[in-house]
């Protein structure tokens, strides 16, 4: 005689529907599995609908404001970028974000680092490349953060002191040493490593300020990332031997007179998209 299979329609109180403990246990396991499968299927449908809605709705797309979560694909180290709402699935597949890609009209895009810090600019008052002086018109168009940071690092001992391991206590060297690379498990290194990041110039910082809400939206979906702080941020654009330009990420305040060796400001590294 075939073993009775319990269903939801059975009258469990009736004498003919009495079941063994094993039968009841199997029934409960089957019901729980069925509910789990339905939940997964429903969540997949919601995710699909959400993605379709985002991709079909120009207003929702505009919220990204030219900003994307960027990463180097683990399989081939190829640089890619996706809207923030697509990142969760990629991170769940063990991809690691480089940061937030920001498209700049007329300029090469930059990647904003997922995390920042708060530091002084230098230990000593040395002018490396103070060509902008206090000229706002020159500062507004200075996109040369990469070359400026390289020049600053070349003057490292004069600026930061003799002990190279302490250089990262200062804004330009901290950015230069920033590292988002990792070993994907077979000895191959993926991502953007130390020496490929720099302290942004004033024009690059202004771009970050312009897109700060979209950048923070992208940062919010990256594990371990921290949002941009609406406070003073150092740039690599120098005003003089004593001063460097800083930008207030709240209202765009832009003085050139913050003192390198005494003032402590927020710092974000940036990198190129390649």
Q: pLDDT (tens digit, 0 to 9) for every residue of the chain, 274 residues total?
A: 455 565 655 655 554 556 676 776 676 677 667 656 655 554 554 454 445 554 555 545 555 789 999 999 999 999 999 999 999 999 999 999 999 999 998 899 999 999 999 999 999 999 999 999 999 999 999 999 999 999 999 999 999 999 999 999 999 999 999 999 999 888 889 999 999 999 999 999 999 999 999 999 999 999 999 999 999 999 999 999 999 999 999 988 887 789 999 999 999 999 999 8
Give which of 266, 178, 271 is closest to 230, Cα–Cα. 266
Do residues 183 and 78 lie in contact, with contact meaning Cβ atoms separated by under 8 Å?
A: no
pTM score above 0.85: no
Do residues 269 and 199 lie in contact, with contact meaning Cβ atoms separated by under 8 Å?
A: yes
pLDDT of residue 60: 54
Q: Give the three-state DSSP class for 170.
A: strand
pLDDT of residue 3: 57
pLDDT of residue 246: 97
Q: Which residues 6+ apart lie within 8 Å of 177 measured at CB? A: 167, 168, 194, 195, 197
The Cα 254–Cα 167 span in angstroms is 26
The Cα 200–Cα 147 span in angstroms is 10
pLDDT of residue 38: 57
pLDDT of residue 185: 80
């Amino acid at each position: 005689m075939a073993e009775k299979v319990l269903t939801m329609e059975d009258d469990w109180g009736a004498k003919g529907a009495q079941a063994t403990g094993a039968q009841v246990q199997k029934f409960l396991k089957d019901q729980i599995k069925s509910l789990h499968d339905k939940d997964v299927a429903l969540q997949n449908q919601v995710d699909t609908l959400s993605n379709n809605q985002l991709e079909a709705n120009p207003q929702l797309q505009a919220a990204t404001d030219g900003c994307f979560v960027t990463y180097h694909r683990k399989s081939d180290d190829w640089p890619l970028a996706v809207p923030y709402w697509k990142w969760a699935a990629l991170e769940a597949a063990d991809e690691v974000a480089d940061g937030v890609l920001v498209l700049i009209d007329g300029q090469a895009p930059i990647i904003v680092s997922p995390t920042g810090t708060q530091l002084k600019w230098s230990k000593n008052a040395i002018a490396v490349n103070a060509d902008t002086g206090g000229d706002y018109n020159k500062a507004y168009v200075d996109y040369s953060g990469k070359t400026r940071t390289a020049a600053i690092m070349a003057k490292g001992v004069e600026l930061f002191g003799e002990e190279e391991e302490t250089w990262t206590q200062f804004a330009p060297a901290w950015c230069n040493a920033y590292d988002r690379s990792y070993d994907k498990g077979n000895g191959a290194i993926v991502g953007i490593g130390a020496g490929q990041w720099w302290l942004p110039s004033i024009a690059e910082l202004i771009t970050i300020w312009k897109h700060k809400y979209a950048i923070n939206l992208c940062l919010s979906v990256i594990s371990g990332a921290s949002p941009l702080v609406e406070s003073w941020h150092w740039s690599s654009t120098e005003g003089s031997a004593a001063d460097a330009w800083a930008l207030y990420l709240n209202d765009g305040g832009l003085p050139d007179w913050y003192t390198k060796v005494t003032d402590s400001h927020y710092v974000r590294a940036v990198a190129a998209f390649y």
